[in-house]
Amino acid sequence: MFGRSTRTLTFLTGALLLLGAGCSSGDVSPSATVSALATSESSTRVESSPTGQSSTTTTDPATGSSGNDRVTIADLLASAEVPARCDMPKQTLINGATDPSFSPRSGWLILDDGVGPIAADLNGDGNQELVVRFGCTAGGVGWPELLLVYTPAHGSSAMSTSPNSASESTATSLRGRRAQEQSAWCGRATTEPALA
């Protein structure tokens, strides 16, 4: 009588536990959130990915290129623009961080925690874009991370793929392939749309 329902419930519970693994921080109840965002009129999308494995068309952001031009991490550290965030105006980063005059508010590129950045030709133009995470705090209150996409010819293009109401969202994986960038996020459960 309860056989099929019990198996379905067990599967769903197992899937939720698997998706939440590695997301716990403090008193936050982890849940994976799917995000989808078109980055151009082509089929470029930001989608949920349960793994952080890179595909074969993703290039090394420091040295590789998928086309004629590329953006490197050194470029970003020297002159990356970031959108207004954490009660700070749009600005150019200084050594990968926001202007210290806004202290105690601060922002930074997240480069060294094993989740990205990634380099790939996301829009199919033959040039590599660089996707990097941006974290910030408004005087001790962390805001959801942003994914920033930098292109060689057009500066930065910000994409918020974190959930609207998730106050402690972090990316757990990034992967790229031709015309796609995929991410998985962990944060508070939300019933709101995933896009800002």
Question: pLDDT tens-digit profile of 136-178?
Answer: 999 888 888 888 888 876 555 555 444 443 344 556 555 555 4
Q: What confidence score (pLDDT) does residue 167 get?
A: 42
CA dist., res. 35 & res. 1, Å (int): 37
Q: What confidence score (pLDDT) does residue 81 get?
A: 86
Q: What confidence score (pLDDT) does residue 142 get?
A: 83
CA dist., res. 76 & res. 92, Å (int): 9
> Which residues in the chain show pLDDT less than 50?
1-68, 160-168, 178-196
Q: What confidence score (pLDDT) does residue 45 get?
A: 28
Q: What confidence score (pLDDT) does residue 24 get?
A: 34
CA dist., res. 143 & res. 134, Å (int): 10
Phi, psi of 150 (to 5 degrees): -110, 130
- Which residue in 184, 71, 83 sits closest to 130, CA to CA? 71
Q: What confidence score (pLDDT) does residue 2 get?
A: 44
CA dist., res. 57 & res. 121, Å (int): 8
The answer to whether residue 195 sits within a structural domain is no
**Residue written as tokens 């806004």?**
102
The answer to whether residue 38 sits within a structural domain is yes
Q: What confidence score (pLDDT) does residue 193 get?
A: 35
Q: Which range of residues forms the domain containing residue 28?
A: 3-187
C-beta separation of 134 from 110 below 8 A: yes
The answer to whether residue 54 sits within a structural domain is yes
The answer to whether residue 68 sits within a structural domain is yes
The answer to whether residue 194 sits within a structural domain is no
The answer to whether residue 164 sits within a structural domain is yes
pTM above 0.75, yes or no: no
The answer to whether residue 193 sits within a structural domain is no
Q: What confidence score (pLDDT) does residue 174 get?
A: 57
Looking at the structure of the chain, the number of domains it has is 1
The answer to whether residue 196 sits within a structural domain is no
